[in-house]
Amino acid sequence: MTAETGTPAAEPAASAVQAPPAKGPLPRTGIGPARPRGRQDWSSWPSYDSAVLGFRNFWYPVAWASQVARAPLGVTVCGERVVLARGKDGRVRGLHDRCPHRGVPLSLGKQEFPGTVSCPYHGWTFDLEGGRLCAVITDGPDSPVCGKVTVRSYPVEERLGLVWVWIGDPDPAPIDQQLPEELTAGDPFTLGGRIDIRGGNWRFACENGYDEGHAKYLHRTSLWRTFKTMPTWNLTHIEKHGRWIYRVQDEVHWEADFPGLGTWTNYRWWKKKPPKETFNIGNTGKAKRIDPVIAKHAFPGFASLSLPGVLRIVYPTFIHYEFYVPVNTDSHRYVGAMVNFGTGWRVAEFIAKYLGGIRWLFHGQFSGQDKWMVDVTDAPPERLYRPDVSLTTWRKLCVDSGALPQPLDVVDQKA
């Protein structure tokens, strides 16, 4: 087990939370010692600290493929505004969502000519492929500006029923290298999911998702866990395999006796009795049957995380993914997806189960508890504890990867 991070044992016991530094003759507000305790900033992970708008040179899912048609759709990713529309060949294209003429969003326009998008204001018409200004309706066929203006185009791909946009330098990496490998190995699967714009920086959402500790307490009241006991506390360590970091459970404890306070457990008489043995697939107990595709991958841990913010939670019969896509400094796009590898009649069974339950209980009410916390999280300063080795390892992974933070001045970029 990894030792607690961010709280060197050499620090003396603190008896108070600190006041802000006194200025001039004003008194200190706080009680207790003057030296601040806990982590005051994220300077230990400089690139992560800077990645308010996420990391560049990654693919980000932004919409369901079925949501993008000929009519332009505007989205914001990592602070960049992108307009999406399907070209003549049916493929989705992306352009910077700002007409260079007067700054009006192209996503308010339409396709006057197939394969182009026209600004609603003066009919400046851009080729969806490449972004070249190919006509200006209100300036006639010989308009001198034609061919002299190009809006930036964004690499776009469709995968897993989602539209993905490349945010970064011109030559995109192959998208399949970034997708979870079990989804590109050729095994057929069925996917259901939800997309939501949520308050809070993407890093709080990502840390919430991978966070070892919160699920057991925050989600204790979720309907999704009505009949299954959640553990009280675990001993965990983190292992890195390839580009993923895995939480590996060493001990799972179903109740705890806190001296002077009493016993705490999530077990109730109507819930399934928790198992005796340790396990690593699912978080409520060892499964009778593990899906053969899932078993084949032999995931070292139940929960894994990779850049640029992809969470994978492995259950015995399905895998749940969360993609935390930066929108701007204070909001992110939550893309939740549930994948089942069954075939034949199991496809229909999964779809029924997803639409009839998972969508509402898990991607709705359960995930809504995360949304609540992500929105009120306010760190740093922060005081990490033993299970937060999951967070510090994730932050270190980001730094070690050498990933480039998206510059902050890209927000609402105008040109």
Among 186, 262, 344, 402, binds its own copies (CB under 8 A): 262
> Given the complex with its own copies, which of 359 and 383 has the nearer CB atom?
383
> Given the complex with its own copies, which of 88 and 241 has the nearer CB atom?
88
259 touches its own copies (CB under 8 A): yes
Tokens in use for 12? 């003396």
> Given the complex with its own copies, which of 20 and 356 has the nearer CB atom?
20
Shortest gap between Cβ of 69 and its own copies (angstroms)?
Answer: 20
The interface region with its own copies, picked from 59-67, 176-184, 227-235, 296-304 by CB under 8 A, is: 227-235
Interacting residues with its own copies between 149 and 168 (CB under 8 A): 149-153
> Given the complex with its own copies, which of 261 and 298 has the nearer CB atom?
261
Secondary structure tally for the chain: helices H, strands E = 8, 19
Among 241, 253, 268, 296, binds its own copies (CB under 8 A): 253
94 touches its own copies (CB under 8 A): no
Contact assessment for residue 167 and residue 58, using Cβ atoms and an 8 Å cutoff: yes
Which residues are within 8 A (CB) of 175 and not within 5 positions of it... i.e. 6 or more apart? 59, 157, 159, 164, 166
Contact assessment for residue 322 and residue 336, using Cβ atoms and an 8 Å cutoff: yes
Interacting residues with its own copies between 62 and 91 (CB under 8 A): 80
**# binding residues, its own copies (CB under 8 A):** 107
DSSP H/E element including 163:
strand 162-167
Q: In angstroms, rounded to a whole number, what is the distance separating the alpha carbons of residues 257 and 19?
A: 34
Among 293, 57, 76, residue whose Cα is nearest residue 177: 57
Interacting residues with its own copies between 264 and 323 (CB under 8 A): 264
Q: In angstroms, rounded to a whole number, what is the distance separating the alpha carbons of residues 127 and 282?
A: 48
Binding mask 14-33 for its own copies (x = CB under 8 A): xxxxxxxxxx--xx-xxxx-
What's at 87, amino acid-wise? Answer: G
8 touches its own copies (CB under 8 A): no
DSSP summary character for residue 309: T
38 touches its own copies (CB under 8 A): yes
Which residues are within 8 A (CB) of 55 and not within 5 positions of it... i.e. 6 or more apart? 47, 307, 308, 398, 403, 404, 405, 406
For the beta carbon of residue 186, count every other beta carbon within 10 angstroms: 5
Q: How far is CA 267 from the centre of its chain?
A: 30
2 touches its own copies (CB under 8 A): no
> Given the complex with its own copies, which of 142 and 242 has the nearer CB atom?
142
Place of tokens 């003759």: 25
Interacting residues with its own copies between 112 and 151 (CB under 8 A): 112-113, 116, 118, 120-125, 131, 134-141, 143-145, 147-151
Interacting residues with its own copies between 349 and 408 (CB under 8 A): 373, 376-387, 404-407
Opening angle at CA 388, ends 386 and 390, nearest 5: 120
Binding mask 228-247 for its own copies (x = CB under 8 A): ----xx-x------------
